[in-house]
């Protein structure tokens, strides 16, 4: 018999009753006064399994910081509209944005369902693979082309093993040396990929994939990928951690590319203390996600080769 489900801290019905649609003025006042937004109560419910998501408060904090940026005086009318869409996201009228901690959770559940097929396979045939795709500064090179070329090259490299499958997602980091410290190893990789050392922020697309490679050793997969993507530390191929259950590992791997952008640790916990620099960086990241990670254009960032038998 399965153990009884833990009762959620807040029943969904209660959070739904407390939910209010906010106007721009009201949203700004909540953020300025440090008052929780009505939707924040859902983080303590079991809506879409949120209560079991150990990262829900981190994601909620990112949403709050992004809303603060989207409603600041410099933000445009489109940004205000997006802020309202995200803060008023509700059942039947979901915003679909990954900045929204509820829609992020729902999207993660769809992505993880793809990985469930790898739950029972031999662990020696399953690898976690990260490839840094490239660096783009002030719009060059253009990301769509860079990502398309990467996908073609990766698929060609792995196609020598027709049984191999993979599933993952491209994440675009915003790297800004003026608001966060870049680790030396990372700086070396970015330099090898052509980053011009200057104060201009970089966009760094990279992919996280679960690769299933029956009949082929992990080292062989790594060898071919490292020959295709040659910059220093551009490719990492690793075994799964054996210290936790397989499904828990797959869940974590499906969630990893959906985490908030790297600059989050630099953003103050209390969003009222965000500087103009934080707000500008956050607005940039949200605009970038609107361009590349909008619910209707997500196909560019998803990268799956799943064979149904
Ligand atoms: Zn939403």
Of residues 165, 43, 169, the one with CA closest to residue 100: 43
Residue 40 CA: distances (Å) to CA of 83, 111, 114, 120: 14, 23, 28, 36
Six token digits for residue 116 = 């469930």
Question: 66-122, pLDDT tens digit by residue?
Answer: 999 999 999 999 999 999 999 999 999 999 999 999 999 999 999 999 998 898 899
Kindly give the distance from the C-alpha atom of residue 179 to the centroid of ligand 1, in angstroms, as a whole number. Answer: 28
Kindly give the distance from the C-alpha atom of residue 103 to the centroid of ligand 1, in angstroms, as a whole number. Answer: 4
| 3-state SS, residue 191 | helix
- Picking from 71, 87, 109, the residue at the C-terminal end of a domain is 109
- 180 against 206, higher pLDDT: 206
Kindly give the distance from the C-alpha atom of residue 39 to the centroid of ligand 1, in angstroms, as a whole number. Answer: 10
Given 3-state DSSP classes, what are the helix, strand and coil percentages for the chain, each rounded to the nearest 5? 50, 15, 35
Of residues 267, 305, 301, the one with CA closest to residue 107: 301
pLDDT at 263 over 70: no
Bridge partners (DSSP) of residue 167 are: 210, 304
Same domain for 176 and 101: no
Q: Could you give the percent of the chain with pLDDT greater than 70?
A: 95
pLDDT at 1: 46
- Picking from 58, 74, 109, the residue at the C-terminal end of a domain is 109
pLDDT at 262 over 70: no
pLDDT at 246: 81
The residues, any chain, with a CB within 8 Å of residue 92's CB and separated by 6 or more, are none
Across the chain, mean pLDDT equals 90
Of residues 125, 103, 294, 293, the one with CA closest to residue 211: 125
pLDDT at 6 over 70: no
- What pTM does this model have? 0.89
Kindly give the distance from the C-alpha atom of residue 292 to the centroid of ligand 1, in angstroms, as a whole number. Answer: 17
Question: 276-299, pLDDT tens digit by residue?
Answer: 888 998 999 899 899 999 999 889
- Picking from 82, 109, 136, the residue at the C-terminal end of a domain is 109
Task: pLDDT band for 7, please (50, 70, 90 cuts).
Answer: low
- 153 against 297, higher pLDDT: 153
Of residues 36, 48, 58, 52, the one with CA closest to residue 12: 48
Q: What Rg do the C-alpha atoms of the chain give, in angstroms? A: 21
First to last CA, the chain: 32
Six token digits for residue 207 = 């992919």
Kindly give the distance from the C-alpha atom of residue 4 to the centroid of ligand 1, in angstroms, as a whole number. Answer: 29
Kindly give the distance from the C-alpha atom of residue 38 to the centroid of ligand 1, in angstroms, as a whole number. Answer: 13
Same domain for 177 and 87: no
Same domain for 192 and 99: no
Kindly give the distance from the C-alpha atom of residue 145 to the centroid of ligand 1, in angstroms, as a whole number. Answer: 29
Bridge partners (DSSP) of residue 169 are: 208, 302
- 139 against 151, higher pLDDT: 151
Same domain for 224 and 96: no
Per the domain annotation, does 119 fall within a domain?
yes
Per the domain annotation, does 280 fall within a domain?
no
pLDDT at 32: 93
Q: How far apart are CA 225 and CA 218, in angstroms?
A: 11
**Count: domains in the chain:** 2
The residues, any chain, with a CB within 8 Å of residue 149's CB and separated by 6 or more, are none
Same domain for 212 and 135: yes
- 250 against 82, higher pLDDT: 82
Same domain for 135 and 98: no
Same domain for 118 and 93: no
Same domain for 124 and 100: no
The upper half-sphere exposure of residue 70, i.e. CA atoms within 13 Å in the direction of its Cβ, equals 26
Of residues 55, 9, 77, the one with CA closest to residue 254: 55
């Amino acid at each position: 018999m399965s153990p009884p489900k833990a009762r959620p801290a807040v029943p969904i019905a209660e959070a739904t009753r407390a939910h209010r649609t906010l106007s721009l003025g009201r949203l700004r006042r909540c953020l300025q006064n440090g008052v929780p937004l009505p939707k924040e109560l859902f983080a303590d419910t079991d809506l879409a399994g949120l209560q079991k998501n150990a990262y829900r408060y981190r994601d909620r904090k990112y949403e709050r910081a992004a809303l603060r940026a989207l409603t600041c005086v410099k933000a445009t009318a489109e940004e205000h509209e997006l802020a309202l869409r995200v803060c008023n996201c509700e059942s039947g009228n979901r915003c679909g944005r990954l900045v929204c901690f509820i829609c992020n959770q729902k999207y993660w559940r769809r992505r993880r369902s793809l990985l469930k097929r790898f739950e029972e396979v031999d662990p020696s045939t399953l690898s976690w693979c990260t490839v840094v795709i490239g660096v783009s500064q002030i719009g060059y090179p253009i990301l769509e082309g860079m990502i398309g070329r990467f996908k073609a090259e990766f698929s060609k490299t792995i196609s020598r093993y027709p049984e191999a499958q993979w599933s993952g997602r491209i994440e675009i980091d915003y790297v800004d040396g003026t608001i966060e410290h870049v680790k030396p190893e990372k700086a070396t990789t970015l330099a090898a990929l052509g980053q011009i050392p200057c104060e201009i922020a970089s966009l760094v697309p990279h992919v996280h994939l679960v690769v299933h490679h029956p009949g082929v050793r992990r080292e062989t997969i790594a060898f071919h990928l490292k020959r295709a993507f040659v910059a220093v530390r551009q490719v990492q191929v690793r075994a799964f951690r054996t210290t936790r259950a397989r499904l828990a590992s797959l869940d974590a791997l499906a969630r990893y590319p959906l985490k908030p952008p790297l600059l989050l640790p630099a953003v103050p916990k209390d969003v009222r203390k965000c500087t103009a620099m934080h707000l500008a960086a956050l607005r940039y990241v949200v605009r970038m996600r609107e361009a590349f990670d909008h619910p209707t254009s997500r196909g560019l960032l998803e990268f799956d080769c799943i064979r149904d038998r």
